[in-house]
């Protein structure tokens, strides 16, 4: 019995993370799909809908094979902070995040949720490459 925490923000990310878990899930596993948004002026209705759609992909793709819980956090936290806190609260065996290819300058200027999770997590983290 394993517990996975997936960090997702789009349906494409969710699909890639589900593909990663495809051959790994057992019926007694639990998947927590997490979408974290800043809230306030930094989050519009479209971002909320995109997050909900991303969570629905995980539930529909994996729900018949394992227990799936979806969580959309809109509480002013950095997404990496929400992922790490949730992983801790459910005693996750593994965090699963996606990464997009970016140039080094883009990483410095915009940061990276996946990079922050990798650097701060005390749990195993799987990094799934995403298109673009």
Go through the domains of the chain in sequence order and give each one's CATH number: 3-129 (3.40.50.620)
20-43: pLDDT as tens digits: 999 999 999 999 999 999 998 889
Provide the whole-model pTM: 0.91
Residue 102 pLDDT more than 70? no
Between CA 89 and CA 72 the distance in angstroms is: 15
What count of Cα atoms within 13 Å lies in the side-chain half-sphere of residue 30? 11
84-94: pLDDT as tens digits: 999 999 999 99
Between CA 88 and CA 132 the distance in angstroms is: 30
């Amino acid at each position: 019995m394993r517990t996975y925490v997936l960090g997702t923000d789009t349906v494409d990310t969710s699909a890639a993370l589900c593909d990663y878990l495809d051959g790994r899930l057992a019926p007694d596993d639990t998947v927590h799909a997490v979408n974290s948004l800043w809230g306030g002026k930094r989050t519009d209705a479209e971002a909320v809908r995109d997050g909900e759609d991303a969570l629905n992909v995980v539930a529909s793709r994996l729900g018949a094979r394992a227990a799936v819980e979806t969580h959309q956090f809109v509480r002013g936290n950095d997404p990496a902070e929400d992922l790490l806190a949730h992983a801790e609260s459910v005693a996750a065996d593994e965090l699963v995040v996606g990464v997009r290819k970016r140039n080094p300058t883009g990483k410095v200027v915009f940061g990276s949720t996946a990079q922050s999770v990798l650097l701060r997590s005390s749990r195993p983290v799987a990094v799934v490459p995403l298109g673009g």
